[in-house]
Every structure is written in structure tokens, then in C-alpha cells.
Amino acid sequence: MLNDENFNRSFVSPILPSEAAGRTSHLKKRKILVLGSPGVGKSAMIMRFKDDIFLDYYDPTIQTTYKKVLPFNNESIELELLDIDGQTEYTIFSFSKFSFGIHGYILSYSIENRQSFELLKIIHSKLIALVGRDVPKILVANKCDLNNKRKISAEEGKALSKTINCPYIEVSAKSSDNINKMFHLMLVEIKKYENNVDFKGLTCKKLFEFFVRNESCLIKLFYVLMALNIVRKK
Ligand SMILES: Nc1nc2c(ncn2[C@@H]2O[C@H](COP(=O)(O)OP(=O)(O)OP(=O)(O)O)[C@@H](O)[C@H]2O)c(=O)[nH]1
Ligand SMILES: [Mg+2]
């Protein structure tokens, strides 16, 4: 059976040569945003995954990006992990700037904090409303080492994951249980989504997003279309 220990051995490899040389530009990139209310352990989970260390102090995050190259399905993927602060109003109302270019979302709560679980439902609704479609995501219940202080049962977590249609996993940044597995699960979900997606629609959307982001390109495209029209008339 694949437990987290043998999973870690198979999934997390030593630093890849390309990473050591700093040449990662050719790698497939996947950007992941970790969401959840303050103190659920977003930064701790990321640091456990990235450097295999546990942050046992609480230092509210401003905004940081971490990168890690890892093997997945016979290729190397560069994971870009966006760690933003979990301040309620910031997470819920201001992550519109994070909705572009994100491949997958980790929705996290802490098993010993009921409020973080309730808030996650709001974060999820807000996210879907913001992006305008379903997204690759996983539901993560952190701090499973604190089982004696548990406020949200695994059944309740699984029920929520069914409602929002995504996998559920319990992890601990402290003990490192399931941490690597969780990022692997995220990549699996992204892959599933990419296999099912309507590429024609997505390409149009991506092109539209690109031009909106690069206004000058939009103006150039306008001139090109004008010129083509003139040539065609002549
Ligand atoms: N027991 C236990 N404590 C944890 C775990 N993960 C994080 N913590 C602790 O919870 C506190 C908050 O962790 P952070 O990772 O800073 O939380 P955060 O979600 O990044 O918080 P913000 O940046 O404010 O949004 C810290 O004191 C961590 O040591 C865990 O798995 N088990
Ligand atoms: Mg943080």
C-alpha cells in the first residue's frame, strides 16, 4: 500500500540537476495558490514540503512565492507556490489579482478550528464566483497531529469535499504526514482538469486574458486588423 513514507521516497527526489544549475525556464510550470484563514498552517505546510522543516512559530504572511522542482508522471514540474496571508477580508475579497494564471487551489483549514472550516466554505464560493467556473482544487485538513483537540471530524471534511467536488486529505505540517502526497494530489487534479477541459474555449479565453493584460498588444492587434482590412479592400 502507498503510505506517506514510501510515497515520499517515490515522489520526492533529490534536487534535480536542472534545478541545481538554476536552469528551470524550460520546465513545465504549475502555479498553486494556498487559501485558508489565518493560522491554519498554510506557510507551515509549504515550508514542510519545500525544505522539510516545521515552522513552530506564528509569523503572519505578507505574500511570498516558493518554487520547487519535482518529478511527476515521468517529467519534471516546476511548482510555484503562492503563500498569501489569510486575513479574512483580504483572502475573500481581494484575491482577484491571484485568479489569473493559477493552475490549482489548495483550500485549507485546521481540524482544531471550527471557524477556519466555516470560513473555507465562503472562500470557496467566492473563488468560484470570481473565476466563473469550477477549478482544480483539493480540500486539506491540516494539524491532524492535534487529534485530541479535533473540532471537525473526517466525515464532516469528506462531506464538504463531496459538496464542492474535490478530493479530501488530512495532513500535518508538524509531523509531515501526507504533506508530499497532498501536492501530488494537487498535480493529479490539475492533470485531470487539463484532460477534460474544452481546449478551444480555453484558448480563446487565454488569448482574451493575454490581450487584456497586455493593452499595447491589443492596440497593435487592432492596427494589424485595420491594415488587413485596407489591404483586402484594395
Ligand atoms: N500542531 C500543529 N501546529 C501547526 C501545524 N501547522 C502549522 N502549525 C502552527 O500554526 C501556527 C500558524 O501557522 P502558519 O503556517 O503561520 O499559518 P498561516 O496559515 O500561514 O497563517 P497566515 O500567514 O496568517 O495566513 C504556527 O504556530 C504553526 O507552528 C500542524 O500541522 N500542527
Ligand atoms: Mg502564512
Number of domains in the chain: 2
Q: Which of 144, 95, 91 is nearest to 120 (CA)?
A: 91
Residue 55 Cβ < 6 Å to ligand 1: yes
Residues 50, 65, single domain; the answer is: yes
pLDDT category of residue 233 using cuts at 50, 70 and 90? low
Residues 94, 204, single domain; the answer is: no
Angstrom distance (rounded) from CA 37 to CA 137: 16
59 C-alpha to center of ligand 1: Å?
9
4 C-alpha to center of ligand 1: Å?
21
C-beta separation of 161 from 168 below 8 A: yes
191 pLDDT exceeds 80?
Answer: yes
pLDDT for 49-87, tens place per residue? 999 999 898 888 778 899 999 999 999 999 999 998 877
Residues 110, 222, single domain; the answer is: no
Q: Among the atoms of ligand 1, which is closest to the Cα of residue 44?
A: 15
Give, using CA atoms, the residue closest to atom 32 of ligand 1. 143
Residues 128, 13, single domain; the answer is: yes
Residue 38 Cβ < 6 Å to ligand 1: yes
Q: What is the CA radius of gyration of the chain?
A: 20
Q: Among the atoms of ligand 1, which is closest to the Cα of residue 59?
A: 16
Strands (E) across 11-165 are located at 28-35, 63-72, 75-84, 104-110, 137-142
For residues 137-153, give the mean pLDDT.
98
Residues 218, 175, single domain; the answer is: no
Q: 232 lies in which domain range?
A: 197-234
Residue 44 Cβ < 6 Å to ligand 1: yes
Residues 161, 211, single domain; the answer is: no
18 pLDDT exceeds 50?
Answer: no
For residues 121-139, give the mean pLDDT.
90
pLDDT at 16: 40
Q: State the ligand closest to the CA atom of 47.
A: 1
Residue 152 Cβ < 6 Å to ligand 1: no
Choice among 4-18, 139-153, 171-185, 188-202 with the minimum mean pLDDT:
4-18
Residue 150 Cβ < 6 Å to ligand 1: no
pLDDT category of residue 88 using cuts at 50, 70 and 90? low
Residue of 217 and 34 predicted with greater confidence: 34
Q: Give the chain's length.
A: 234
pLDDT category of residue 178 using cuts at 50, 70 and 90? very high
